[in-house]
Amino acid sequence: MILPILCVKCKNQPAETSAVEGRLKLCPKCFIEYFERRVKESVQKFHMFTHEERVAVAVSGGKDSGALLRSLKRAFPNLDIVALHINLGINGYSEHCESKVRELVKEECVELNVFKLSEEGFTIDDFRKTLYKNEVCSPCGIVKRHILDRMALEVGAKVLATGHNLDDILSTLLHTFFSGDFVQLVRLKPVLMPQHPYQTKKVKPLIKMSEFEDYQYALYTEIPIRELNCPHSIGTKSREGKKILESLSKGNPNFKYQTLSLFLKKLIPMIEDKVKQPNLMSCIRCGFPSSTEVCAYCKRVEMVKRVGKRA
């Protein structure tokens, strides 16, 4: 008779999963406690926000942002949290995502603000008609960052928490490092302070949690998450980067955490003062931060609307 492996924490329940760091064998209850404790520790270690601040949480309908919202609500029950969701107008996908977000915030009793991109006169699908065609993720990222900053300011939140996890950070780290984009490399820090009155402080509470752990937490706490993948995400650089990470981690389970530690403790302090950040001005059209007279968001909006008029 083969006895089940017991949870290393409670020592009386069968272990069903492993925490990536330390390879701890845990039962579902202990894993949930482990996840929420790690998120709380990251918030406190990097001074992401105070108990007095209003924190906006970007929720997409996926496992990462769902895990972020639920774990923050449980780790900081008295925190003033407002959920922000952008309906990107992606056919057959965005309405599904919004429905999952509405389920989650109802369960968590959290205020929700939804912005429908169609109110701007275009959707993300419309970028398929522009020069971006099969690379819609690029303008989509620019659009989301701009709209989220706008939404956060409108609801009075100076802090914006996003669901970027360990795998997201490291896959982007690989791409930016080998492309020599050290400006963007520095922006991967767990806390990014605002450089303009219209910017919010960006924080990444899930920076030490892997994508697998986000999924496990969402599964064990029964978070309503989307069952569909974005039709524009197939073959993106982010997915390719994560495949490389998994390959590098096969012989060393702690590879991801070692790389993150090296990034935070060695690489960032070494290059941060040497990397010249662009001087920000106010966009002449929308007033939001830009390194040129017209910001990247306004340029993309002009492009997609111009193509739409010709169609």
Residue 73 included in any domain? yes
Residue 84 included in any domain? yes
Residue 105 included in any domain? yes
Residue 109 included in any domain? yes
Residue 175 included in any domain? yes
Reported for 106-110, long-range contacts at CB under 8 A and 24+ positions apart, including other chains, are 107/224, 108/69, 108/70, 108/73, 110/57, 110/69, 110/73, 110/81, 110/82, 110/83
Residue 302 included in any domain? no
Residue 23 included in any domain? no
pLDDT tens column, 100-154: 999 999 999 999 999 999 999 999 999 999 999 888 999 999 999 999 999 999 9
Bridge partner list, 159: 55, 201
pLDDT in tens, the chain (311 residues): 456 899 999 999 999 988 876 678 999 999 999 999 999 999 999 999 999 999 999 999 999 999 999 999 999 999 999 999 999 999 999 999 999 999 999 999 999 999 999 999 999 999 999 999 888 999 999 999 999 999 999 999 999 999 999 999 999 998 888 888 888 899 999 999 999 999 999 999 999 999 999 999 999 999 999 999 999 887 556 667 777 788 878 777 788 999 999 999 999 999 988 888 888 999 999 999 999 999 999 999 999 999 876 65
Give the domain extent around 231: 45-277
**C-alpha separations of 203 from 72, 106, 144, 210, 222 in Å:** 12, 24, 16, 16, 25
* Total tally of structural domains belonging to the chain: 1
Residue 283 included in any domain? no
Query: Could you tell me the CATH number of the domain that includes residue 111?
Result: 3.40.50.620
pTM: 0.94
